[in-house]
Structure 1
Amino acid sequence: MESEGAYNLSNLILDMLLATVLFWIALKTLITPDLFHAVVLFMIFGLLMALTWVRLDAPDIALAEAAIGAGLTGALLLDTIGYLRRNH
């Protein structure tokens, strides 16, 4: 019974840490003036959101978040930054 309580406490600590880091990265993404830095933070945010979905026992949503949110959208945004820097 004691190990179950320790397991729940460690899960709570991990979840609180994950929520705090997600909030910090979201805020940092919004206030950074450098576009490249913002896109990299956005991609990290997407990967951490995928981890959050795994913690919530939703692996299908986690896979979609990782593939679309961090992968595809991040690649498109990085390509857009490259296009903007080339033309300006």
Structure 2
Amino acid sequence: MIDLIFGIILVMLVVTAALALFSKKLLNSVVILSLFSTLLVILLIILQAPDLALAEAVIAAGIMTSFFIITINKTEEIE
């Protein structure tokens, strides 16, 4: 059962990475990257690496997403 969940999450990681890469809008890419980070946190928890999962959740899913959104909003104001 764990192998099935593991495989599904791996496929979803590849799909979200491709969607973020080929998305036309920057804000959509940031949201998809946040989803990618969340899926990676779930994968790390399954792999019994809670310290890495916590770091990924705080840094990538939280802080990095916030910085990207703030930066996109600031640059759109300039244009």
| Shorter-chain TM-score range | over 0.9
Superposed CA offset, 1:12-55 (max 9, x none)? 11111000001000011011110000000011111111111101
The structure whose RCO (Cα within 8 Å, separation 6+) is larger is 2
Deviating 4+ runs (over 6 angstroms): none
What is the aligned length? 79
Superposed CA offset, 1:37-74 (max 9, x none)? 00000111111111111011000000000000110000
| Partner Cα separation in structure 1 for residue 74 and residue 19 of structure 2 | 24
- Which runs of 5 or more residues in structure 1 are unaligned? 1-9
Tell me how large the CA RMSD over aligned residues is.
0.6
Query: Residue 69 of structure 1 corresponds to which residue in structure 2?
Result: 60
Tell me the TM-score normalized by structure 1: 0.87
2:48 match: secondary structure = coil
The structure number with the bigger radius of gyration is 1
Percent identity over paired residues: 28
